[in-house]
A and B are shown apart, each in its own frame.
Chain A
């Protein structure tokens, strides 16, 4: 909170009593455990930085194979995020708002891919969307569309593992929403569609962004399902995680640089979006009153 206020408070007078007593204090054991947790995440990253062959950085980054994989990763992960949002937001609304029998089961089903080992997810995609799959055989026969070994297959695999992150984040936010805002808008004559578009979704915007970013990060790092379902070929299905994994066997130095590239990109997006969209406390109704 304080970071957001400091960033946005250019010419405004400094509020007195900004730091309320006790607000920045935690019991010592909690603080210690939290610091250990930070170290747990920081150490592997420092390990990579420590071992990174910095002198080869430019050589690795200018490698056409790496650039191809990087662009492919960016393209597919963004497409997967769009798909996850287009289908995931309606799914989150359904799960949060409609009390239908078996809702718990449907929610579990739609988030199964989070706990499924990705390789198993990839095999499951074979049996459903593959050339001989339950649904894929009709795609192949009627529309001549094949998903395995294609870029579309990569996007499908990424969407499969990434969408639950968006659904769960958005559903939680919708559940916490104060229904009075929507009720008021309905009373004033807004249609269901209008209220959804102008009240509900703007109010949960931070969760939408957070969910989309989580889904995107998961899609960008997707490895197991992609390798299993979409295969591995430069330019069509070989994304950054695949290139990195394969480089680990033959060129470990290059693999470290590739990992750092992915870390820097993800880190920049996570930090950047946090400050821009999530850190500054957007007031629920501010965007509605406009």
Chain B
């Protein structure tokens, strides 16, 4: 299972529930930025299932390696601003992130969270100069959690998973970007029956309930 880093927690829960139904199956997960995972699969990394945080990287996989079925969108996510607990700098929206004294970090344009963040700023008409382009959403969370960055934008579920180490500030719907998560079995991967069973489980009512518990939206 190659999955976007923002799926780390929920797929842990998903895997446990799936293993309870299929005790003979042992799932192994590899979490990373969606773009890094596509690159690894392209280089021959042994992946049976790929779950991406955006449709662009899934399209790259379909073009370069191929999938066994049309990718299915199984979850949605929305963006959220994260700041230090207690919001000491009184950040209330996207416009505050443009303050020159504020240390804001995001991810590179190839990483889904970086691209979505750029879209949100464009919608709000805000120009923000980031201090660093991190590798993935988790790296952004950790920079804010240790206090080196004042603010970042990550998925709602990342903010939730970080617990009390960061505070989340929601972004109004008109500026928010809804991320769609597609999943598919990778062509050339083994275990195609198990892959199909796992994908079916993610899309089932039980799977969708787990996703909602972890803060995801369902399509």
Contact = CB atoms under 8 A, between A and B. Distances in A.
Interface string B109-148: 0100000000000000000001111110000000100111
Nearest to A255: B39
Interface string B21-47: 000000000000101101100110000
A6 B147 CA distance: 59
A249 interface: yes
Interface residues of B, number: 22
Nearest to B109: A250
Main secondary structure, interface of B, reads: loop
A233 B148 CA distance: 15
B43 to A, nearest CB: 8
B162 interface: no
Interface string A120-140: 000100110011100000000
A259 interface: no
A66 to B, nearest CB: 15
Contacts of B130: 233
B148 A126 contact: yes
A130 B40 CA distance: 32
B132 A232 contact: yes
Nearest to B32: A249
Given A246-B110, A250-B110, A252-B39, A132 B132 contact: no
B133 A252 contact: no
Given A126-B148, A132-B148, A249-B110, A231 B38 contact: no
Contacts of A126: 146, 148
Q: How large is the interface on A (under 10, 10 to 19, 20 to 34, 35 or more residues)?
A: 10 to 19
B105 A231 contact: yes
Interface string B83-121: 000000000000000000001010010100000000000
Nearest to B133: A232
A148 B148 contact: yes
A232 B35 CA distance: 17
Contacts of B43: 252
Contacts of A165: none
A250 B36 CA distance: 8
A52 to B, nearest CB: 15
Contacts of A131: 147-148
A231 B134 contact: yes
Contact of B148 (A130, A246, A248, A250): A130
- A-B CB proximity, top 4 nearest: A231-B132, A132-B147, A249-B35, A149-B131
Interface of A: 123, 126-127, 130-132, 148-149, 227, 231-233, 237-238, 246, 248-250, 252
